[in-house]
């Protein structure tokens, strides 16, 4: 294919006008040559997988990237792009990325073997993005998510006991009551994505590092605006597909530079909090004036600094900051999206909503005031827990685990993985795999009740992995699950809700974010009616 054919067949001119021109500083100076150079280079080098991986079926390079740049919904991507290839496979297929191909596993047994063999399959540096990019600056570097070997064990040694001790159930409940007050001023129809984004940013701010974002009480919070812009910037498909434009060519994209500046401001805030916390804790120990706060209600930063002494391991201020960024992303965005998708499913399935409400009332009572659950209450919420798990199966915010790199030739449940290959557990597709789950696109919480389908499907392999699994399972899993149970149970007692008839989600939840791997949505308005 020559250059002219390439331009015609790939729709390069339309791509230029839609994706490149709006982002440039000088819209006339650089021209379409940038797009031609980038895309034609990709065409010549990486439109087919390397020979040693061609024993696996693969997604078409152009079809995949066209889907990303078109911002297709996750359902469209799952049904139209990956499902046809997945059905031809024995539990794995190849997905094209910029500069490499990655093996996506959809077989539960192969996934279990992958996630258990952390020495053979360490995390790849490819997960962090290019050095200097917005994504690298926020989630890259030396942190618990990206590190391997002894360095990872050192981080985990401090983070594990901190998360074990930190379970601020009282804080979850108090912030939920603050959320109710905020809802009073929003009217009947409420954008739950915005609502839960605010309650979870306040939660992770206070529970993570003792900082009050005032997201619920101040709708014009500078910090919320900064973080939202950073988050949207990381999800921008253009800069994910063309990372050079986020680093070397950044000066050509002034709007992108502004987002980088906002991230710098956010990171400086975290660094200042860490430095001040170390100083005040040291002074308190020396003066004997340490605050008598129960361990489970202390913030994670305080607990991690305490654990440095108890576990004979230390983290630098920079390492602490990078870990707080990971906790922030995982504890805020993914929890907010899960809560939003859960509310949607209960809105379109009113009988399930009422069943969950009856359970909440049976545990917390039906008196007309806001009852805060305690930790023992949350352990009794079997159907609410099933609703949560089914939501994370069908609409899990994270589409796949971070990429691992095979250090030697290996076979995972009959699937040959050559040395040097990148491989990931495909959360989206194993959760929707018709060879694994009955009617996988149907929302059915009963799967996760005792004796349900989930017990059978997960007994031999790993078919439900919203928090990954094995030695590198998400350290904040229980934190997130308890927070969800508290918020949902209190909402069920306080409100009934339904989907507005004019919702863009009337024919199914529309979610996006395939490029970055964390899904989100827009305009998810819900009609709420108070019960008391």
Annotation: binding site = 474
Closest CA to 432 of 383, 388, 394: 394
Closest CA to 104 of 72, 58, 146: 58
- 449 vs 333: CA distance, rounded Å: 27
Give me the helix-helix angle, 317-328 and 254-287, nearest 10°.
120
- 263 vs 129: CA distance, rounded Å: 16
- 510 vs 45: CA distance, rounded Å: 34
Strand partners, 495: 530
Closest CA to 139 of 123, 150, 119: 123
Using DSSP's 3-state secondary structure scheme, residue 162 falls into helix
CB atoms within 10 A of CB 385: 21
User: In this structure, what token pair is assigned to residue 272?
Assistant: 């200042």
**What Å distances lie between residue 71 and 65, 235, 431, CA to CA?**
10, 10, 21
Query: Are 163 and 420 in contact, with CB atoms under 8 Å apart?
Result: no
Closest CA to 273 of 223, 217, 332, 200: 223
Could you give phi then psi for residue 512, rounded to 5 degrees? -135, 175
Closest CA to 122 of 405, 402, 400, 401: 405
Query: Are 393 and 431 in contact, with CB atoms under 8 Å apart?
Result: yes
Using DSSP's 3-state secondary structure scheme, residue 404 falls into strand
Residue list, annotated binding site for heme: 474
Closest CA to 229 of 270, 257, 199: 257
CA 266 centroid distance within chain: 19
């Amino acid at each position: 294919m020559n250059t002219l054919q390439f331009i015609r067949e790939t729709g390069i001119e339309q791509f230029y006008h839609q994706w490149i021109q709006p982002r440039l500083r000088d819209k006339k100076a650089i021209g379409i040559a940038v797009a031609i150079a980038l895309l034609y280079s990709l065409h010549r080098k990486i439109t087919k997988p390397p020979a040693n991986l061609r024993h696996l079926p693969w997604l078409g390079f152009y079809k995949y990237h066209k889907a990303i740049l078109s911002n297709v919904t996750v359902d469209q991507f799952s049904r139209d792009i990956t499902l046809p290839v997945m059905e031809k496979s024995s539990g794995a297929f190849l997905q094209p990325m910029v500069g490499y191909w990655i093996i996506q596993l959809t077989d539960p047994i192969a996934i279990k073997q992958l996630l258990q063999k952390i020495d053979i399959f360490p995390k790849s540096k490819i997960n962090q993005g290019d050095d200097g990019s917005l994504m690298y600056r926020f989630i890259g570097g030396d942190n618990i998510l990206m590190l391997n070997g002894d360095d990872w064990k050192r981080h985990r040694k401090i983070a594990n006991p901190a998360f074990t001790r930190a379970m601020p159930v009282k804080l979850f409940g108090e912030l939920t009551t603050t959320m109710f007050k905020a809802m009073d001023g929003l009217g009947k129809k409420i954008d739950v994505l915005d609502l839960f984004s605010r309650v979870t940013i306040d939660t992770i701010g206070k529970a993570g590092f003792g900082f009050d974002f005032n997201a619920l009480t101040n709708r014009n919070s500078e910090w919320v605006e900064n973080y939202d812009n950073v988050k949207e910037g990381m999800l921008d498909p253009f800069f994910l597909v063309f990372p050079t434009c986020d680093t070397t060519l950044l000066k050509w994209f002034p709007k992108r530079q502004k987002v980088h500046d906002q991230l710098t401001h956010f990171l400086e805030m975290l660094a200042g909090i860490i430095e001040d916390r170390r100083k005040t804790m040291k002074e308190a120990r020396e003066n004997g004036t340490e605050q008598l706060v129960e361990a489970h209600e202390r913030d994670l930063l305080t607990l991690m600094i305490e654990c440095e002494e108890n576990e004979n391991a230390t983290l630098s201020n920079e390492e602490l900051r990078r870990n707080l960024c990971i906790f922030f992303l995982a504890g805020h965005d993914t929890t907010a999206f899960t809560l939003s998708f859960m509310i949607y499913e209960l809105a379109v399935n009113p009988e399930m909503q009422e069943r969950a409400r009856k359970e909440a009332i049976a545990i917390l009572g039906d008196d007309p005031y806001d009852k805060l659950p305690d930790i023992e209450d949350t352990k009794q919420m079997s159907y609410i827990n099933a609703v949560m798990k089914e939501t994370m199966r069908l609409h899990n915010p994270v589409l796949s685990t971070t990429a691992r790199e095979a250090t030697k030739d290996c076979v995972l449940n009959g699937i040959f993985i050559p040395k040097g290959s990148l491989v990931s557990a495909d959360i989206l597709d194993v959760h929707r795999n018709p060879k694994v789950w009955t009617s996988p696109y149907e929302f059915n919480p009963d799967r996760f009740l005792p004796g349900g389908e989930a017990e059978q499907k997960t007994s031999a392999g790993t078919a439900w992995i919203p928090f990954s699994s094995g030695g590198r399972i998400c350290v904040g899993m229980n934190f997130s699950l308890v927070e969800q149970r508290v918020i949902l149970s209190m909402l069920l007692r306080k409100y009934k809700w339904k989907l507005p008839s004019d919702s863009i989600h009337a024919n199914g939840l529309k979610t996006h974010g395939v490029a970055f791997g964390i899904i989100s949505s827009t305009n998810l308005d819900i009609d709420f009616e108070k019960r008391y």
